[in-house]
């Protein structure tokens, strides 16, 4: 792997004006622009994996006019299970989605960044040259905008519920949440043996650990219920940090979603979970606004489904949301969460990710966990009712 990373590093250094010029011309819709200068910074990733995001930016000149330009370079490297198309975290899925042309014209108010090039390099790495998208609202969205984003998500999901069978591309994820949850199985014994740890107790206070283990035993009930619901095509990770608000050239509001690496089939309503529960988990919305966020987003999503022509039972939507919310952030990378809590050397990195001390994060996540416990109870009632 080290040799492959060195090859990729050399390829990054070798990026020159001849490489960038056609990309920048596509980005600025110009056939005559000439690049004057550029620089690049790493935004995310790295850490010895080859998966990273870079920003290239500089100045150009077009028919005497000086222009600024920017591009996003996303690099991915197949390794281990992530190199297999059937896995939930298949690393080449986003590149395949761009190459298929699907992401260039999505239904409803959801869009993906423009992709200017997908390049496969020696050693197996794949580079995606993408449009840099800026949010036109800013970091702090009003709650009403979450409702609009949910409506766009409903329009997107609804289109695949009413317009025929789902696409059959082999790279799409299938059973994504089931695979994510089951990937936590090796960590469950470690969790049981770590309940005396002070940080684990903050993460699972009171009877939260007992509920977590009961939920694990009952996970099949919720996952099977999700499988019985209408299935649609989903982004699977529409949480705030992957979303940008902007307007189209015609003035229509649009939601641009980045990171399509999990895209695939999912249950009706499942798409809401990262927007609501993920937003709460990552401090994008305060817990004091949790109920309002859920109500606004749920109603927006229903409206989006109606926009697309879906006229089904809203209780099915509620079941899809509640059942998926019960599991997703309870068993999302469980092994990594435990590793952080049990290894002091990882605390600083974890705190940097959330922008808060680790204890504060764990207390906060514990409160979000109580909200998803409520949703688990609601999902159980809906399963009994709708069956």
pLDDT at residue number 363:
98
Q: What is the pTM of this model?
A: 0.94
The per-residue pLDDT for range 72-124, each reduced to its tens digit, is 999 998 887 777 887 888 999 999 999 999 999 999 999 999 999 999 887 77
Q: How many CB atoms lie within 10 A of CB 213?
A: 15
Over 70: is that where the pLDDT of 6 sits? Answer: no
CA 345 to chain centroid:
27
Angle between helix 314-327 and helix 219-228 axes, rounded to 10 deg: 150
Cα(138)–Cα(77) distance, integer angstroms: 32
What b/e readout covers 61-94, taking b as 16+ CB neighbours within 10 angstroms? ebeeeeeebebbbbbbbbeeebeeeebbbbbbbb
pLDDT at residue number 180:
95
Cα(292)–Cα(65) distance, integer angstroms: 48
Over 70: is that where the pLDDT of 307 sits? Answer: yes
Contact 72, 59 (CB under 8 A): no
The per-residue pLDDT for range 31-55, each reduced to its tens digit, is 999 999 999 999 987 555 568 999 9
Q: How many angstroms separate the first and last alpha carbons of the chain?
A: 50
pLDDT at residue number 5:
59
Report which DSSP code applies to 343: -
What are the CA-CA distances from residue 84 to residues 30, 77, 79 (Å)? Answer: 38, 12, 9
Angle between helix 347-354 and helix 334-342 axes, rounded to 10 deg: 120
Which among 235, 273, 239 has a CA at the least distance from the CA of 371?
273
Region of 310 on the Ramachandran plot (φ > 0 left; ψ -120 to 50 alpha; else beta): beta
């Amino acid at each position: 792997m080290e040799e492959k990373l060195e090859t990729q590093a050399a390829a990054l250094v070798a990026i020159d004006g001849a490489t960038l010029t056609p990309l920048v011309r596509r980005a600025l819709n110009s056939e005559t622009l000439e690049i004057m200068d550029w620089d690049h910074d790493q935004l995310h990733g790295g850490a010895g994996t080859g998966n990273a995001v870079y920003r290239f930016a500089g100045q150009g000149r077009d028919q005497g006019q000086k222009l600024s330009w920017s591009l996003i370079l996303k690099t991915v490297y197949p390794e281990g299970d992530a190199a297999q198309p059937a896995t939930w975290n298949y690393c080449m899925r986003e590149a395949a989605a761009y190459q298929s042309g699907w992401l260039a014209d999505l239904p409803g108010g959801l869009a993906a960044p423009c992709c200017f090039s997908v390049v496969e390099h020696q050693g197996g790495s794949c580079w995606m040259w993408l449009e840099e998208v800026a949010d036109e609202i800013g970091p702090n969205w009003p709650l009403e905008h979450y409702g609009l984003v949910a409506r766009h998500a409903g329009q997107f999901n609804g289109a695949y519920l009413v317009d025929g069978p789902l696409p059959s591309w082999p790279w799409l994820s299938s059973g994504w949440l089931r695979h994510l949850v089951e990937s936590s199985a090796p960590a469950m014994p470690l969790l049981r043996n770590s309940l005396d740890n002070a940080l684990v107790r903050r993460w699972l206070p009171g009877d939260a650990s007992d509920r977590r283990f009961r939920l694990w035993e009952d996970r099949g009930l919720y996952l099977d219920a999700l499988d019985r619901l209408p299935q649609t095509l989903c982004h699977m990770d529409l949480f705030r940090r992957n979303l940008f608000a902007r307007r189209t050239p015609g003035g229509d509001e649009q939601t641009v979603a980045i990171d399509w690496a999990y895209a695939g089939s999912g249950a009706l309503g499942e798409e809401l979970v990262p927007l609501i529960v993920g937003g709460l988990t990552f401090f994008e919305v305060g817990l004091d606004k949790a109920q309002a966020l859920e109500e606004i987003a749920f109603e927006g999503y229903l409206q989006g489904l109606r926009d697309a022509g879906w006229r089904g039972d809203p209780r099915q939507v509620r079941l899809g949301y509640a059942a998926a919310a019960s599991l997703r952030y309870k068993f999302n990378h469980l092994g990594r969460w435990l590793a952080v809590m049990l290894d002091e050397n990882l605390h600083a990195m974890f705190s940097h990710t959330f922008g808060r001390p680790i204890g504060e994060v764990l207390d906060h996540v514990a409160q979000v966990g109580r909200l998803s416990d409520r949703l688990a109870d609601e999902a159980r009632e809906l399963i009994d009712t709708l069956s």
